[in-house]
Structure 1
Amino acid sequence: RKKGRRMEIENSRPYFFGDIGCWAERTEVHKTASLGQASQLEQLIQTGASVNMVAVDSITPLHEACLHGQTKCVQLLLEAGAQVDARNVDGSTPLCDACSAGSLECVKLLLQYGAKTNPALTSRTASPLHEACMGGNSECVKLLISMGASLEAYDLYYGTPLHVACANEHTNCVKELLNAGAKVNAARLHETPLHHAAKSMSVEMIEILVEFGANIYARDQHNRKPVDYTTPGSPSAACLQSYEASPLSLQQLSRLAVRKTLGTRALNVVVQLDIPKLIISYLCYQ
């Protein structure tokens, strides 16, 4: 009981960079956690091995386990008092690594133990939501959003999570972010998610973004519109040119009006209930 109380106190302490364990080469705990050798890891813990020992790059055994999606080892480490929000030399937390690996179970465990969905960003790291979008892990994206992850977390290099999802052509992640209310016209150096979609030549992604109100006339730092990044004569170029030549349809205008007036959650209810488009249009113009 005393041991459990001690672990509870240790887990409640705030983490400060470099305040756990001692500097060391990669330990046996690191190795077993990385390889998913749960029984060996359990033995090491029982014989007193430190679960918070940091290697020269500030990586803890928990980082290793999360990066390789070793759920059982993650659980053992957390139960033994591993610092859930420890940062490595790049500023990444175990939650960032779990999201990068696309391990939904590891992400769930970390969140259960109080991992921060919005750790303070540094110039060298992205948020867990950025990492999930980078890897196209839409289930992790959905879970993080439900736990309050910031949709507009801004990374100096990547921009917002929506920028990352579009740049890496992960359409399902784009849908999750937009349905949750991500700003479709967020800009990094004047570059919008639609610019990324145009560069990737993804017609589906272009259509989704425009449906959610993306500005087809937005110009980036090079004074170029999204259509300027498409190949002439390609389906993506034809798609954007069609939008430029024609006004938005009643359905598109209705969708935008409902989102603006009722909010994202209300719109999701409308869509899930499959209310006829005629009724939606009627509501928008009252």
Structure 2
Amino acid sequence: LEDGDRCESSVEKSILALFCFKLFVKISLNLLTYFYIVRGNRKEAARISAEFYDYGQRHSSWADRSPLHDAASQGRLLAVRTLIVQGHNVNVLTIDHVTPLHEACLGNHVACARALIEAGANVNASTIDGVSPLFNACSVGSVTCAELLLENGAKPQTLVYQPSPIHEATSKGHYGCVEALVTWGTDVDMDIPHLGTPLYTACVCQELECARKLLREGANVQKGRSLDSPLHAAAEKDCTAVVKLLLDFGADINTRNMEYQRPVDVAPPSSLTEGFLLLYEATPRLLSQMCRQCIRTCVGRDRLHLLAHLPLPNRLQRYLKYQ
């Protein structure tokens, strides 16, 4: 009996030692993987995870793309539905925390995105870089995907240190996405330190229609990036059409930036924009334009949608709304 007890005790100690060793190895590999992620070497982190963890066969691998990622990115709806029915996790993550919904939105695969959302996909999932499915939809100009996400609870606005959907949509001229985001409550004056406001981004990227939409929705025509106004950005890019638009909405031609320069000072020498600004300085402003800007200022950005309810002729209402 004593020999049997000693043998049983030895087996228990061996099992405990093996368990502790495996736990130590897993903790060490987790720390090593995290170290490589922090250093930016994600490929090496993925290799370590794939080599030492047997998740690829038993679970959905967080280190590599899953079959659901591939099906969603390729828009294979039948495959997506089949995998969901088979029990695949719709919120499975890659090493960068990319979900199948991220992939579906990036590929503008609306049907796949809808199937994933109906199966419980997190519409506000964020990658390690802070990218949301909504950001991906706005990046490729997928208005339908953007609206689908917003209708199912996606946050229309991110924190200032995360990639901004409205800035992304504006920079690429995706007018429909900008319109959807504004409709769902995105702040048109959202200020990101290194990007400025969406209007400033539109001026830098010379996206006239996006700038027009933002201004009609009440964007502050003077608010840009730090002391650089949207008019500075448009003048520097020699985009006369955007410059005219900004001035029509009341941009201050005499505002100065950090270098104490006015918009006309940053315009390329002898350019069309410089000539237009010099002429504008010497031309009196129309009383009708000044009245329109005064009325819109008094109404306020949050009540601009009520202009249509004022007891005014339709022509005057359209004028006040810049239509």
Q: TM-score range by the shorter chain?
A: 0.7 to 0.9
Local SS of the residue matching 1:274: helix
Task: Give the Å deviation of 1:108.
Answer: 1.2
Which residue of 1 is the match for residue 254 of structure 2?
217
Query: What are the residue-to-residue correspondences of 1:137-148 with 2, within 5 Å?
Result: 137-148=174-185
Select which of 1, 10, 24 maps to 2:63: 24
Which residue of 1 is the match for residue 193 of structure 2?
156
Which residue of 2 is the match for residue 84 of structure 1?
123
Could you list the per-position Cα deviations for residues 14-73 of structure 1 after superposition, in whole angstroms to 9, with x for gaps in the alignment?
xxxxxxx87321111111111111111111111111111111111111111111211111
Select which of 79, 82, 86 maps to 1:40: 79
Structure 2 contact 72–100 (Cα < 8 Å) conserved: yes
Local SS of the residue matching 1:92: coil
Select which of 135, 148, 155 maps to 1:96: 135
- Which AA in structure 2 matches 1:275? L
- Which AA in structure 2 matches 1:37? R
Could you list the per-position Cα deviations for residues 225-255 of structure 1 after superposition, in whole angstroms to 9, with x for gaps in the alignment?
1112222222211111122222322122122
Select which of 264, 267, 286 maps to 1:230: 267
Task: Give the Å deviation of 1:267.
Answer: 4.8
The more displaced of 50-59 and 254-263 is 254-263
- Work out the percentage of aligned pairs sharing the same amino acid: 37
- Which AA in structure 1 matches 2:262? K
Size of the aligned set, in residue pairs, is 257
- Which AA in structure 2 matches 1:201? D
The more displaced of 263-272 and 228-237 is 263-272
TM-score, length-scaled by structure 2: 0.74
- State the Cα RMSD in Å: 2.2
CA distance in 2, matches of 1:274, 1:130: 33
Could you list the per-position Cα deviations for residues 115-167 of structure 1 after superposition, in whole angstroms to 9, with x for gaps in the alignment?
01123232xx3322112111111111111111111112121211111111111
Which residue of 2 is the match for residue 274 of structure 1?
315
CA distance in 1, matches of 2:313, 2:83: 50
Local SS of the residue matching 1:177: helix
CA distance in 2, matches of 1:102, 1:93: 14
Structure 2 contact 199–224 (Cα < 8 Å) conserved: no
Q: Residues 80 and 236 (structure 1 numbering): CA distance in 2 closer, same or farther, change over 3 Å? A: same
Q: Residues 187 and 164 (structure 1 numbering): CA distance in 2 closer, same or farther, change over 3 Å? A: closer
- Which AA in structure 2 matches 1:132? A
Q: Which has the larger radius of gyration?
A: 2
Q: Residues 268 and 165 (structure 1 numbering): CA distance in 2 closer, same or farther, change over 3 Å? A: farther
CA distance in 2, matches of 1:152, 1:51: 35
Task: Give the Å deviation of 1:269.
Answer: 6.7
Which one has the bigger helix percentage?
2
Local SS of the residue matching 1:84: coil
Local SS of the residue matching 1:24: coil
Structure 1 contact 258–267 (Cα < 8 Å) conserved: no
Moved over 6 A (4+): 268-272
Q: Residues 33 and 143 (structure 1 numbering): CA distance in 2 closer, same or farther, change over 3 Å? A: same
Local SS of the residue matching 2:265: helix
Which residue of 1 is the match for residue 144 of structure 2?
105
Structure 1 contact 33–41 (Cα < 8 Å) conserved: yes
Q: Residues 267 and 214 (structure 1 numbering): CA distance in 2 closer, same or farther, change over 3 Å? A: farther
User: Is it true that 1:265 corresponds to 2:302 in the alignment?
Assistant: no
Task: Give the Å deviation of 1:268.
Answer: 6.3
Q: Residues 268 and 96 (structure 1 numbering): CA distance in 2 closer, same or farther, change over 3 Å? A: farther
Which structure 1 residue ranges, 5 or more long, are not aligned?
Answer: 1-20, 281-286
Which residue of 2 is the match for residue 5 of structure 1?
none
Query: What are the residue-to-residue correspondences of 1:247-258 with 2, within 5 Å?
Result: 247-258=284-295
